[in-house]
Copies of this chain bind each other. A is one copy, B any other.
């Protein structure tokens, strides 16, 4: 039975804390859905009544700013999606879109609340998650605004290599445009800086394929740029 959480290979840390019965409860009250690249999981402004858990794949969080849609961050499975927006409001306060083919479990809100209330360890994992996200958001915001472009682009490349792919060779999961919206700059500037990094031998670039050649220097740029 594919749907049995007990057998799932992609359990969240929180779910690992559940008892057998609790896990069974979860099994009966969730629904797994496949998403194709580009499809929307959570839409800002829409009602939400389920908790979304990205069990496999890659997604971006994005929010409507006063002038344009801003990418908040790119996240990979396993991870809950939109907890803050689902908990604190009936209406989604930001959007989540899958940027590669992915799988999402939708968990009934009442069930999730029940688990939260009955299992301290489960609740604690969720709370710690929320805290981490908030801290991360503060840090990221301070970085973005204080560093200039080169530093921010270096940051993103390092983040992709170290956290998203675990490899210094990877294919960018987003267009230059989306990259720009992630670091608050323009498409043209992203192009220029990437070209510069390429010319300087810091990266080798072919379209969206990136290979980091000089990580030391990239880190230096990230810190001092």
A186 to chain B minimum Cβ distance, whole angstroms, is 12
1/0 contact string of A71-98 vs chain B (CB within 8 Å): 0100000000001110111000110000
Report whether B137 and A66 are in contact in the complex, using a CB–CB cutoff of 8 Å. no
Q: Is A123's CB within 8 Å of the partner chain B?
A: yes
How far is it, in angstroms, between the C-alpha of A83 and the C-alpha of B117 when the chains are bound? 19
Q: Nearest Cβ distance between residue A185 and chain B, in whole angstroms?
A: 10
Whole-angstrom distance between the alpha carbons of A94 and B134 in the complex?
11
- Residue ID in chain B nearest A121 by CB atoms: B117
Contact yes or no, A120 B117, CB < 8 A: yes
Of A5-13, A34-42, A141-149, A171-179, which stretch is located at the interface? A141-149
A84: chain B residues within 8 A (beta carbon): 130-132, 134-135
CB under 8 Å from chain B, chain A span 102-160: 113, 116-117, 120, 123-124, 126-128, 130-135, 137-147, 151
Contact B132 A88 (CB under 8 A): yes
| Cβ of A148 to closest chain B Cβ, rounded Å | 10
Check A20 for interface membership: any CB of B closer than 8 A. no
Which 10 pairs between the two chains have the least Cβ-Cβ distance? A84-B131, A117-B120, A88-B131, A65-B142, A65-B146, A141-B141, A84-B134, A87-B131, A130-B130, A70-B142
Partner of A123, one of B117, B134, B140, B143: B117
Contact B87 A127 (CB under 8 A): yes
